[in-house]
Structure 1
Amino acid sequence: MIQAAADAIHKFGIRGTTSARIQELSGLSRGMVNLHFGSKEKLLLAVAEELSARYAGQWKAIADNPELDAAEKLISIIKADFDPYVLNAQDVAIWFSFRAEALSNPHIFPFIDSRDKGFKAVILELLEQIKSEGEYERVDAKIATDALIALLEGLWTDYHLHSDIFKPAEALKICLFVLHSMFPKHFIVKMIPS
């Protein structure tokens, strides 16, 4: 049922996703939405929760990997951000549909907030560690974190608008170029794919 709701959001947007359309796509009776979720709104919230959990699961697994150093973790998190598991036409369209409704539906907001505190804290911690290791006195890790997150958000928007020509390798290259400009000893030019 969650997948049917996701398919409906992808096809019709949040406002066009009706219980009838979810029922039609799922093949289940209308009463099943209310039986399992209580309401269509709670089912849509479950879609947002699932997308958020899938996204967070990826970066958390990388952040918790003791075999990677800070720079390797950061590069892996960025690569994961462009992985088709989370960056695909349907999921991104759903993310943006939810974002269009976020201000009027505060229950959805925590699941689609681009300033997710957990994600931001991990990026900041990694950049603080890199700053310390490389003795980058002039770099403000908080500003670098905000810049990187804004860049990732912008690249997701670019994907949403131009998924037919978007190249994940180019997106990674852009991120590594920016990181190299701030942390040249950790993100050397040869890391940037050609």
Structure 2
Amino acid sequence: MSGDAAVPELKKRRTRIDPELRRKAIIEATMQCITQYGHSGCTLERICAQAGISIGLIGHHFSSKEELMLSTYQALTDQLREETRKYLANQNGSSEDRLLAIIRSSFRGQIFNEFILTTWLGFWGAAVSSEQLRALNKKLYADYRKELEAVFNDIARENGTHIDAKSAALTITALIDGFWLEWALDHKAFSSKKAEKCCITTAHMFVKAAQQLAAMPPTG
């Protein structure tokens, strides 16, 4: 081959991204879009622009927008639970300590921030009109209440008392949701410390009421 022969242009090799990493990137982009535009304004075009991909590529990972939304909500919930587990890992005390840790984790910066709560609020609103999203939301909340219920039952066993664990778990879940909802709409309404204190005070009411009832002399 002569020295002045044309050198063929080298084709740039495309870097292949691991499918699981790509899937996570699309889910993250979906969360970003929900935060910026709400669920109704979270179009596939905006998700693709946020993720830097084509619409066709989304189809390789999700069969429909509905599946993408369900996967994103599941991922958000998994993220919240993982943060709670990390917080619990540092607790080696009683069941009551575990209960307080669960409540406190709900108001720490990794969970109690504008991005997470705005995304959560977007899914909450979307669940009203999406049967599949509503079903997933129902399951996730049922699992969370069961976890709280188990902790309240453990506290009762350790104290030799009886707690209405179902009502206690329902009350604490509703309180946390209420604080998340209001703070997502108005960051100046209250501090995370104030919300945390209110939830802990309510949890203590269930525990103390059971202790007082157990201490009462038998009637008759």
TM over 0.5: yes
Cα distance 1:91–1:62, how it changes in 2: closer, same or farther (>3 A)? closer
Aligned to 1:119: 144
Contact 1:52 1:111 in 2 (8 A): no
Shift of the alpha carbon at 1:136?
3.9
d(CA) in 2 for partners of 1:62, 1:123: 15
Contact 1:10 1:90 in 2 (8 A): yes
Flag structure 2 segments of 5+ consecutive residues without an equivalent: 1-25, 211-220
Shift of the alpha carbon at 1:61?
5.6
Letter in 2 for 1:6: M
Aligned to 1:172: 196
1:77-92 aligned within 5 A: 77-92=102-117
Aligned to 2:76: 51
Contact 1:103 1:109 in 2 (8 A): yes
> Which structure's CA Rg is the greater one?
2
Aligned to 2:14: none
Aligned to 1:192: none
Shift of the alpha carbon at 1:40?
2.5
SS at match of 1:82: coil
Letter in 2 for 1:36: H
Shift of the alpha carbon at 1:116?
1.8
TM-score, length-scaled by structure 2? 0.73
Letter in 1 for 2:59: N
Q: How many residues align?
A: 185
Shift of the alpha carbon at 1:50?
0.7
Aligned to 1:132: 157
**Percent of pairs identical after alignment?**
24
Contact 1:110 1:116 in 2 (8 A): no
Contact 2:91 2:97 in 1 (8 A): no
